[in-house]
Amino acid sequence: MESVGRILSRPAAWLGDALDLLLGPLQRLVGTRRMGYFFILPNMLVFGIFILLPMLLNFAYGFTSGSSILLHNREYTGLRNFELLLECDLSFLNPGSGNFFNPNVCQYDRFWRAVNNTTVFVVFQVGIMVLFALVTALALNRKISGRGFFRSVYFYPVLLSPVVVALIWKWILQPQGVLNGLLTGWGVEPQPFLTAPDWARLWVIFVSVWAQMGFHTLILLAGLQAIPAEMYEAAAIDGGGLWQRFRRITLPLLMPTLMVVLVLSLIRAVQVFDQVFVLTSGGPGTATLYMVQFIFQTAFDQQNYGLAAAASLLLAAALLILTLFQLRLGRTSEIA
Amino acid sequence: MGRMMREGRGVVAFLTRRRGGGKIDVADILTYLCLLVGVLAMFGPVLWLVLSSFKTPASLTSFPPTLLPMQPVTMEVAGYPEPLRLVDVTFPDGTTRRLAQVRRVGIEVTMVDPTDPAGEIVLNINEVGRRPVEQVYFDTANYSGGVQSFAFFRYLRNSVVVTVVATLITLLINSMAAFGLSKYRFRGRDAFFLIILSTLMVPISVIMIPAFLVISKVGWVNSLWGVIIPGAATPTGVFLLRQYMLTIPDETLESARIDGASEWRIYWQIVLPLAGPALAVLAIFSIMWRWNDFLWPLIVLSHSELFTLPIGLNAFQGALNTQWNYILAMTVLTLLPITVVFAILQRYITTGIATTGLK
């Protein structure tokens, strides 16, 4: 690493000198204090054009209809897009329509299917992943040799492209794949892992836990190692058992880290897209259709930008609520 | 790597040693057992992919699959134009002979003893046991065939360009902004910072439609710039670097000013080197994000000569008539670069992420 720094240092110095030559006059012109504006300018430009402006434009799309992506060709339709999204197609088939907590309601409606699927995915994926990551981090935090090796192996899938992850598992789970091979060896019927709705939902959760767990393990492990050893020594003198130590020392002191992990993984889970897109493409049927894929396909396959923008505004609202929830939780955990 | 070598010195020594000495107990054994099962679960699938990628199409479709890539053993037998497959034949009396199969018609199979090619032996397949002789064989045809239609090096080049350029731009503009926000007092500074922070939770998936409109107005559809620039102003990066730069004392900057250094020089020669650790962490994150980025490049790029590795691999696996054997080999090629980088830099990467995840 140091040698890389040394090789880069000379061109970096030249570049610095060259820019200094250009920026000297600017500083004399605007004064030292206003150079602050200059320093934030490039970032604010990129930020303003590619993040802030789109955020505002999203409303313009959400409240207009038409197949053109150009705003002046679109027609203002008010809340129509939101109505279209929220109402149930074929609701006459569903006796209990109107009650969105009933999983049988709106089952023919792609949007509500996606909302439902995403909710179930988020709850199980985050729950299972944080639990696994915590257990792994606790195991790695014991006095063991080869910790670096284990840490790296668990982290490795995090670096793999979601497409690669999906293909690895598609190969394992296919009808003639190794998992079915093992099952046959044990005398169990081969299973339609990716073509039966319930199996597909389960494997989508498993694969994304597999791919992301290492990252959260790493953060939790760092949090565990920050707990001073004296705390445990004191507990050992008091004669607390393993579970007592975990409940009274580890868990409370790890709470801030656990909160970070929980929120990061929640926000990521809500946006689940790429692995699933390659692994099942949302299928079978709409069994693994999630919000982002719904938005993506509505916008770029069906050219229904208005409906897609309305859906992404709802997604943004969900993320906002999660964030506020986290801030609140963060406050209460500080008080506790 | 050296560490692993030392640890691998002796399995027994490795298993019974522990930090700070002392005997190994049941809990330790359980821990190791769980961790090893975990290693198998995390690394096994990748290993299976790599092994599978060296199998012949015929052995890929055989079910149940074999662990190692296998191939039937053939042999040249005098008097026969084609090489013949070797088969272990078990006779009703229990003896086993290794014979070469000449042909099979219905339930009659004609064999010949390779050591005595003069006389053909005709057998009824219901009366003898037959097991084809196979050997481990790593077939590279999947790789040579796959790269015919998967432009690996072009995709790799695009991925490297996107990752490197985007990371450099991210580091530059984020650190400039962090410097401006942490070391200057100017009107609207706190408002700017708050606006940036408020988008910490706004992912590209929420703004993909208008962002695509902006990109097409700028003329960056089907351009690597369209992939690189929009994600460069990361709120995470600005936040991380600003928090770090706040810890650099203002007196350092003041004394440089007295020595006549310009503001740019203070940023470039004093603050940037001091913010090194935070920059390194942001660099790791940026490289990870960019290398694996999927949704946004998928929207921006539709010309195959501009595809990055994930987009190229996705298109390749989605193409009609693409065979699993090629997909497997090209998936291995795609994961190879990041694996090599990780193998070399794993220590820096894991510790780097561990130290900031907390902030």
Measure the CA–CA gap between B314 and A284, rounded to whole angstroms: 19
- pLDDT tens digits for range A88-108: 655 555 555 555 555 555 656
C-alpha closest to that of A40 among B126, B85, B185, B124: B185
Tokens of A69: 């992506």
Asked if A27 lies within 8 A of B32 by C-beta distance, the reply is no
Measure the CA–CA gap between B61 and B58, rounded to whole angstroms: 6
DSSP B344: H
A-interface mutation test, from B33, B152, B223, B264, most A Cβ less than 10 A away: B264
B123 CA to chain A: closest CA distance, Å?
30
All structural domains of chain A with their residue ranges: 2-82, 89-335
Assess whether the previous peptide bond of A284 is cis (omega < 30° from 0).
Answer: yes
Q: What are the backbone dihedrals phi and psi of residue B18, each rounded to the nearest 5 degrees, phi first?
A: -145, 160
Measure the CA–CA gap between A322 and B7, rounded to whole angstroms: 44
Chain A, nearest residue to B325 by Cα: A171
Chain B, nearest residue to A144 by Cα: B18
For residue B347, the model assigns a pLDDT of 81
Asked if B39 lies within 8 A of A20 by C-beta distance, the reply is no
Residue in this structure with the two tokens 């390779």, named with its chain if needed: B114
Chain B, nearest residue to A310 by Cα: B206
Asked if B39 lies within 8 A of A150 by C-beta distance, the reply is yes
Which residues on B lie below 8 Å from A135 (Cβ)?
34
Is pLDDT above 90 for B202?
A: no
What residue ranges in chain A does DSSP mark as E strands? 64-65, 75-76
Chain A, nearest residue to B191 by Cα: A44
Asked if A47 lies within 8 A of B335 by C-beta distance, the reply is no
For residue A44, the model assigns a pLDDT of 93
In this complex, which of B38, B65, B313 lies closest to A163 when CB atoms are compared?
B313
Chain A, nearest residue to B184 by Cα: A36
At the second CATH level, the architecture of A89-335 is Orthogonal Bundle (1.10)
Radius of gyration for the alpha carbons in chain B, expressed in angstroms and rounded: 31
For residue A23, the model assigns a pLDDT of 85
B104 CA to chain A: closest CA distance, Å?
27
Instruction: Give the residue, A46 or B320, on which the prediction is more confident.
Output: A46
Which residues on B lie below 8 Å from A290 (Cβ)?
none
Tokens of B122: 């005709």
Is pLDDT above 50 for A62?
A: yes
Measure the CA–CA gap between B289 and B308, rounded to whole angstroms: 13
Is pLDDT above 70 for A179?
A: yes
Is pLDDT above 90 for A213?
A: yes
Mean pLDDT within A208-222? 92
Mean pLDDT within A187-216? 92
Q: Rounded mean pLDDT of chain A?
A: 84
B114 CA to chain A: closest CA distance, Å?
34
User: CA separation (Å) from B335 to B156, B301, B341?
Assistant: 11, 21, 10
Chain B, nearest residue to A149 by Cα: B4
Compute CA B50 distance to the chain's CA centroid, rounded to the nearest angstrom: 11
Residue in this structure with the two tokens 């000449």, named with its chain if needed: B102
Measure the CA–CA gap between B183 and B322, rounded to whole angstroms: 56
Residue in this structure with the two tokens 């298993």, named with its chain if needed: B15
A-interface mutation test, from B46, B205, B274, B344, most A Cβ less than 10 A away: B205
Question: Residue A128 in contact with residue A256, Cβ under 8 Å?
Answer: no
A42 CA to chain B: closest CA distance, Å?
6
A92 CA to chain B: closest CA distance, Å?
32
Measure the CA–CA gap between B260 and A329, rounded to whole angstroms: 49
Mean pLDDT within B165-188? 94
Q: Rounded mean pLDDT of chain B?
A: 85
| 3 state DSSP class of B120 | strand
Measure the CA–CA gap between A54 and A41, rounded to whole angstroms: 19
A85 CA to chain B: closest CA distance, Å?
16
* DSSP track, A77-110: -TTHHHHHHHSPTTGGG-TTTT-TTSTTTTTT-H
**pLDDT range class, residue A47, cuts 50, 70, 90:** very high
Asked if B184 lies within 8 A of A215 by C-beta distance, the reply is no
For residue A108, the model assigns a pLDDT of 61
Q: Which helix (H) or strand (E) holds A156?
A: helix A147-159
Q: What are the backbone dihedrals phi and psi of residue A98, each rounded to the nearest 5 degrees, phi first?
A: 105, -30
Which residues on B lie below 8 Å from A142 (Cβ)?
27-28, 31
In this complex, which of A185, A218, A256 lies closest to B353 when CB atoms are compared?
A218
For residue A93, the model assigns a pLDDT of 53
For residue A96, the model assigns a pLDDT of 52
In this complex, which of A19, A142, A143 lies closest to B264 when CB atoms are compared?
A19
**pLDDT range class, residue B299, cuts 50, 70, 90:** very high
B-interface mutation test, from A21, A50, A152, most B Cβ less than 10 A away: A50
Measure the CA–CA gap between A104 and A18, rounded to whole angstroms: 66
ipTM > 0.95 (yes/no): no
Measure the CA–CA gap between A102 and A116, rounded to whole angstroms: 10
Asked if A145 lies within 8 A of B174 by C-beta distance, the reply is no
In this complex, which of B65, B201, B267 lies closest to A323 when CB atoms are compared?
B201
User: CA separation (Å) from B244 to B64, B237, B275, B276, B277?
Assistant: 55, 11, 7, 10, 9
- How close are the terminal C-alpha atoms of chain B, in Å? 30
Name the H helices within chain B.
Answer: 2-7, 11-16, 26-53, 57-61, 141-149, 152-183, 189-198, 208-218, 224-228, 235-246, 250-258, 263-265, 272-274, 276-292, 295-300, 309-318, 324-356
- pLDDT tens digits for range B5-31: 444 445 545 555 555 455 567 878 888
In this complex, which of A36, A146, A160 lies closest to B184 when CB atoms are compared?
A36
C-alpha closest to that of A44 among B193, B21, B154: B193
Measure the CA–CA gap between B159 and B154, rounded to whole angstroms: 9
Chain B, nearest residue to A133 by Cα: B38
Chain A, nearest residue to B344 by Cα: A1
Tokens of A159: 């670096």
Asked if B229 lies within 8 A of A50 by C-beta distance, the reply is yes
Compute CA B33 distance to the chain's CA centroid, rounded to the nearest angstrom: 26
- pLDDT tens digits for range A236-272: 777 767 788 888 888 888 888 888 888 888 888 988 9
Which residues on A lie below 8 Å from B231 (Cβ)?
50
Asked if A182 lies within 8 A of B310 by C-beta distance, the reply is no
- Which CATH topology does B150-356 take? MetI-like fold (1.10.3720)
CB pairs under 8 A between A and B: 322
For residue A336, the model assigns a pLDDT of 37
A67 CA to chain B: closest CA distance, Å?
13
